[in-house]
């Protein structure tokens, strides 16, 4: 219907059309609601320039911009002692956002130790003896290509399950995603648009809702 025709409709007709919108069937209502999907994350990589994080999942590949606070921790000497969790993921078409929590146990950073002082200087906060740091990440999601988690030598200490809320977009559920730009050379080296990718081993934990 052309815009000028719609604007010419009597108010009563327009209100009738709006009233009819409340009578969507169950299938239509379900189509218009946000959905959720389960994702298994198993490989975590960083670009050679340290500006992007790459996470390989079973359903999608995810490329995040590196938050400065996370970059600091990934380069810190205490990184192997860090426990990392991810949650609150939301996808809007090809856009993806989420949150991360990093925890340094009291036993690994006792009071007065250099590790504890360094972590506090890097932005960690004390919580019941342990130290924690939280932040947000954002980036893009892509359809997976032939680069799979099993082809990468290092990964998480175990597969990590997350829920992703798939927000309804203006084009409904038909948003098309690009194919992942992550590539693997003949020698097994990984790259992203000309930048080398390096795997990082992370110890993960589950956030339990209180």
Tell whether the model's pLDDT for residue 169 goes beyond 80: no
Tell whether the model's pLDDT for residue 133 goes beyond 50: yes
Residue 7 falls within a domain, yes or no?
Answer: no
Tell whether the model's pLDDT for residue 113 goes beyond 70: yes
CA distance 165 to 168: 9
Between 107 and 29, whose confidence is greater?
107
Residue 18 falls within a domain, yes or no?
Answer: no
Residue 19 falls within a domain, yes or no?
Answer: no
pLDDT of residue 189: 86
Under the banding of pLDDT at 50, 70 and 90, the label for residue 42 is confident
pLDDT of residue 143: 96
Under the banding of pLDDT at 50, 70 and 90, the label for residue 208 is very low
Beta partners for 182?
Answer: 192
Return the number of other C-beta atoms located less than 10 Å from residue 34's C-beta.
Answer: 11
Residue 191 falls within a domain, yes or no?
Answer: yes
Percent of the chain that is helix, strand, coil (3-state, to 5): 20, 40, 40
Residue 20 falls within a domain, yes or no?
Answer: no
Q: Which domain covers residue 151, as residue numbers?
A: 26-204
pLDDT of residue 43: 86
* 32, 155 contact by CB (below 8 A): no
DSSP 114-167: HHHHHHHHTT-EEETTEEEEEEEEEEEEEB--S--GGGSS---SS-EEEEEEEE
Tell whether the model's pLDDT for residue 40 goes beyond 80: yes
Between 148 and 28, whose confidence is greater?
148
Between 129 and 115, whose confidence is greater?
115
Tell whether the model's pLDDT for residue 94 goes beyond 60: yes
Tell whether the model's pLDDT for residue 11 goes beyond 90: no
The whole model's pTM is what?
0.77
pLDDT of residue 187: 82
Share of the chain above pLDDT 90, in %: 50
Q: Any idea of the CA torsion for 135, 166, 52, 117, to the nearest 10 degrees? A: 20
CA distance 1 to 98: 40
Tell whether the model's pLDDT for residue 83 goes beyond 60: yes
Residue 145 falls within a domain, yes or no?
Answer: yes
Two tokens, residue 33: 């609601």
Mean pLDDT of 72-79: 90
Q: What are phi and psi of 6, to 5 degrees?
A: -65, -45
Between 10 and 95, whose confidence is greater?
95
Residue 14 falls within a domain, yes or no?
Answer: no
Residue 134 falls within a domain, yes or no?
Answer: yes
Number of domains in the chain: 1
């Amino acid at each position: 219907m052309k815009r000028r025709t719609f604007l010419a409709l009597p108010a009563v007709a327009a209100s009738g059309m709006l009233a009819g919108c409340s009578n969507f069937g169950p299938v239509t209502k379900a189509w218009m609601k946000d959905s959720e999907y389960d994702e298994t994350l198993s490989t975590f990589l960083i670009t050679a320039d340290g500006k992007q994080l790459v996470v390989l999942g079973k359903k999608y590949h995810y490329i995040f911009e590196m938050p400065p606070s996370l970059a600091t921790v990934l380069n810190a000497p205490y990184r192997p002692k860090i426990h990392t969790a991810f949650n609150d993921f939301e996808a809007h078409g090809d856009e993806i956002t989420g949150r991360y929590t990093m925890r340094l146990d009291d036993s690994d950073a006792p009071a007065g130790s250099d590790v504890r002082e360094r972590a506090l200087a890097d932005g960690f906060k004390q919580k019941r003896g342990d130290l924690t740091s939280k932040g947000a990440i954002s980036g893009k999601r892509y359809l997976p290509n032939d680069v799979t988690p099993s082809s990468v030598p290092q990964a998480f200490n175990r597969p990590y399950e997350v829920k992703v809320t798939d927000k309804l977009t203006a084009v409904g559920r038909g948003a098309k995603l690009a194919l992942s730009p992550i590539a693997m050379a003949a020698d097994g080296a990984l790259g992203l648009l000309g930048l080398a990718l390096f795997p990082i081993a992370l110890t993960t934990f589950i956030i339990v809702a209180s």
